[in-house]
Chains A and B, each alone.
Chain A
């Protein structure tokens, strides 16, 4: 116990003496939490629409003005010549072209109108697809509106929509818990591993190995400091999320800390295991990068697991971050309780035990 305390103290002393780590631990979460939610957005906005108005009627002008008024669409040009609009699409000045055919207004009444054609730049599939959707909706709304004005019976809304848990469909609220996890993975995944491999490179591990310190004590001495740092980083991130974005967890904060405590153990245990198999910092970095890519891209951080192919969905069962993402999002946005998602906690608990046992066993005092 006393040996553990000495190792623990030494680890903190070394972190404090390091000219770089303490700053990283404080500044990194703040910068990530302040900057990333603003830029990491999947909301499609500023879709530039070029209208090719061959009709030049009230209807066509109404469509153009509705496009202009839309929150998501920008009317970039109105021309009477299709090639001009096409050129704008090619050069990136326009994302979507709407062509209203000649005599559209006249023929619409008789029901023989040529169709309005919409052409979208789909290089960015999301922007193209969603942009097109917005345009279709806007045009449809305009046409319904026009019909309503012409017919004495008002057309009522047939569908109502409600977004539960994230009522404003704010993408930030979805991303902020994910960012907290990215912070965790980066800080608690890299630093403990680098600290062990650093001792290997400088030879100090040799001097520790000839002492009677047990493997468990040594591993705990490396683990616990980063466990505390992880919880500190989480606290900073939660405060920033609350102060800056007004996002406070709907559910229990205690539950978040419990999940985080388990998750930090999982990730730092995992990184210690990698360190035990590496000889140099470079090697550790690259192996960690590989796994961090898997963790970030396959755990449902950025894209939902449900939309992955079936085999990939099975594979994600082996990725510990997926459970913590689920916990964090559910508690933050829905206020889910422990009883409803104890499986996630159990999974993290199992990973924590497995990785840390392996980290202890693979740390060899003898070659």
Chain B
């Protein structure tokens, strides 16, 4: 039984095809990540699944309910945290929580055990206006409000965008805690490094899904040899490396460049050809999700 089933879902805004026949399924209790750059169609997918948008084609089910026909029933079963902070900035922390609890027809106490690990971190500021909270606290409040009615599926649209590294890490710990409670979580992020915290991930780009697998499975798909090359003359090196025999792709990766090669590549010859880069440093590298993404995107 799947918590989310998406079948050939399509949506366009005028001439822009935001989602072009997307299919995937999320198991119950799974922490599923949508990884992709801005404009990949992640937010559109969230808005379709939370019944805020109507699809142009295809179908989707959340908790076994159709997003078009059973939209009302879905609304009381899902929690949604939009990418942009969208609680009432002029209401206090506790007023926001109480307000959303009441809209779902539940009391705060009924779900407090679920919300507590998150809410207790912002509880000292419960009388502060939500608009005056820091970024990390806003995000915790938004998560508390999205959980207050004990949803079976949680949709988090780029929850960690614009949040500092420590809070981001804490946030993923909280998600792991929620997963323990059996809540299915669909989360999107533009940060490839967060993908490893998910059970499975889908790489998306320009309205398509490029591949779905576990984080290690995705990385395992990358079978070509990979090198990291480095020189002080970063940009010149990139240009020169791309012209060499056997180089499939060369792209900046942090402080070095990643070099994807095929069978015809000869390391000795490569070093010789680039001998005018005196400080050239080359070593084999382990592929990451980002490497897989770039490779899939090129295809």
Would you call B270 an interface residue if the criterion is a C-beta within 8 Å of the partner chain's C-beta atoms?
Answer: no
Would you call A365 an interface residue if the criterion is a C-beta within 8 Å of the partner chain's C-beta atoms?
Answer: yes
Q: Do the beta carbons of B51 and A366 come within 8 Å of each other?
A: yes
Q: Which residues of the other chain, A, contact B95 by a CB distance below 8 angstroms? A: 10, 13
Q: Which residues of the other chain, A, contact B91 by a CB distance below 8 angstroms? A: 10, 13-14, 17
Q: What residues of chain A have their CB less than 8 Å away from a CB belonging to chain B?
A: 2-3, 6-7, 10, 13-14, 17-18, 202-204, 206-213, 365-367
> Considering the complex, which residues of chain B in the window 33-70 have a beta carbon less than 8 Å from any beta carbon of chain A?
50-54
Would you call B180 an interface residue if the criterion is a C-beta within 8 Å of the partner chain's C-beta atoms?
Answer: no
Residue in contact with B104 in the complex, picked from A7, A206, A211, CB distance below 8 Å: A211
Binds A, one of B1-9, B73-81, B261-269, B277-285: B73-81
Q: Which residues of the other chain, B, contact A212 by a CB distance below 8 angstroms? A: 72, 75-76, 103-105
Residue in contact with B103 in the complex, picked from A14, A17, A202, A213, CB distance below 8 Å: A213
Q: Do the beta carbons of A204 and B86 come within 8 Å of each other?
A: yes
Would you call B89 an interface residue if the criterion is a C-beta within 8 Å of the partner chain's C-beta atoms?
Answer: yes
Bound state CA distance, A7 and B102, in angstroms? 9
Q: Do the beta carbons of A202 and B86 come within 8 Å of each other?
A: yes
**Interface pairs A-B: 10 shortest CB-CB:** A203-B86, A6-B102, A211-B103, A17-B90, A210-B80, A212-B76, A207-B86, A212-B75, A203-B84, A204-B86
Residue in contact with A366 in the complex, picked from B52, B76, B89, CB distance below 8 Å: B52
Would you call B87 an interface residue if the criterion is a C-beta within 8 Å of the partner chain's C-beta atoms?
Answer: yes
Q: Which residues of the other chain, A, contact B84 by a CB distance below 8 angstroms? A: 203
Q: What residues of chain B have their CB less than 8 Å away from a CB belonging to chain A?
A: 50-54, 71-72, 75-76, 78, 80, 82, 84-91, 95, 99-100, 102-105, 129, 145
Q: Do the beta carbons of B90 and A366 come within 8 Å of each other?
A: no
Bound state CA distance, A255 and B89, in angstroms? 41
Q: A3-B102, A6-B102, A6-B103 are in contact. Are A210 and B52 (CB under 8 A)?
A: yes
Given A17-B90, A203-B86, A210-B78; 4 other pairs, CB 8 A cutoff: A6-B99, A13-B95, A17-B129, A212-B103
Q: Do the beta carbons of A204 and B103 come within 8 Å of each other?
A: no
Q: Do the beta carbons of B82 and A207 come within 8 Å of each other?
A: yes
Q: Nearest Cβ in chain A — how far from B257, in angstroms?
A: 40
Q: Nearest Cβ in chain B — how far from A319, in angstroms?
A: 35
Q: Nearest Cβ in chain B — how far from A13, in angstroms?
A: 7
Q: Do the beta carbons of B82 and A203 come within 8 Å of each other?
A: yes
Bound state CA distance, A116 and B42, in angstroms? 87
Q: Which residues of the other chain, A, contact B99 by a CB distance below 8 angstroms? A: 6, 10
Q: A14-B91, A204-B87, A206-B86 are in contact. Are A211 and B71 (CB under 8 A)?
A: no
Q: Nearest Cβ in chain B — how far from A366, in angstroms?
A: 5
Bound state CA distance, A203 and B82, in angstroms? 9
Residue in contact with B53 in the complex, picked from A10, A14, A367, CB distance below 8 Å: A367
Q: Which residues of the other chain, A, contact B71 by a CB distance below 8 angstroms? A: 366
Bound state CA distance, A203 and B129, in angstroms? 17
Can you list 7 residue pairs at the A/B interface with Cβ under 8 Å?
A: A3-B102, A202-B86, A203-B86, A204-B86, A210-B50, A210-B80, A367-B52
Q: Do the beta carbons of B75 and A210 come within 8 Å of each other?
A: yes
Q: Name the residue on B nearest A5 (C-beta).
A: B102
Q: Which residues of the other chain, A, contact B53 by a CB distance below 8 angstroms? A: 366-367
Q: Do the beta carbons of A202 and B51 come within 8 Å of each other?
A: no
Bound state CA distance, A210 and B129, in angstroms? 22
Most B CB atoms within 10 A — which of A3, A14, A209, A366? A366
Q: Which residues of the other chain, B, contact A204 by a CB distance below 8 angstroms? A: 86-88
Q: Which residues of the other chain, B, contact A203 by a CB distance below 8 angstroms? A: 82, 84-86
Q: Do the beta carbons of B51 and A210 come within 8 Å of each other?
A: yes
Q: Do the beta carbons of B52 and A208 come within 8 Å of each other?
A: no
Q: Which residues of the other chain, A, contact B129 by a CB distance below 8 angstroms? A: 17
Q: Do the beta carbons of A3 and B52 come within 8 Å of each other?
A: no
Q: Which residues of the other chain, B, contact A10 by a CB distance below 8 angstroms? A: 88, 91, 95, 99
Q: Name the residue on A nearest B142 (C-beta).
A: A207
Q: Name the residue on B nearest A217 (C-beta).
A: B103
Residue in contact with B54 in the complex, picked from A17, A206, A209, A367, CB distance below 8 Å: A367
Q: Do the beta carbons of A2 and B82 come within 8 Å of each other?
A: no
Q: Nearest Cβ in chain B — how far from A6, in angstroms?
A: 4
Q: Name the residue on B nearest A203 (C-beta).
A: B86
Q: Name the residue on A nearest B13 (C-beta).
A: A367
Q: Which residues of the other chain, B, contact A3 by a CB distance below 8 angstroms? A: 102-103, 105
Q: Which residues of the other chain, B, contact A208 by a CB distance below 8 angstroms? A: 103
Q: Nearest Cβ in chain B — how far from A159, in angstroms?
A: 65
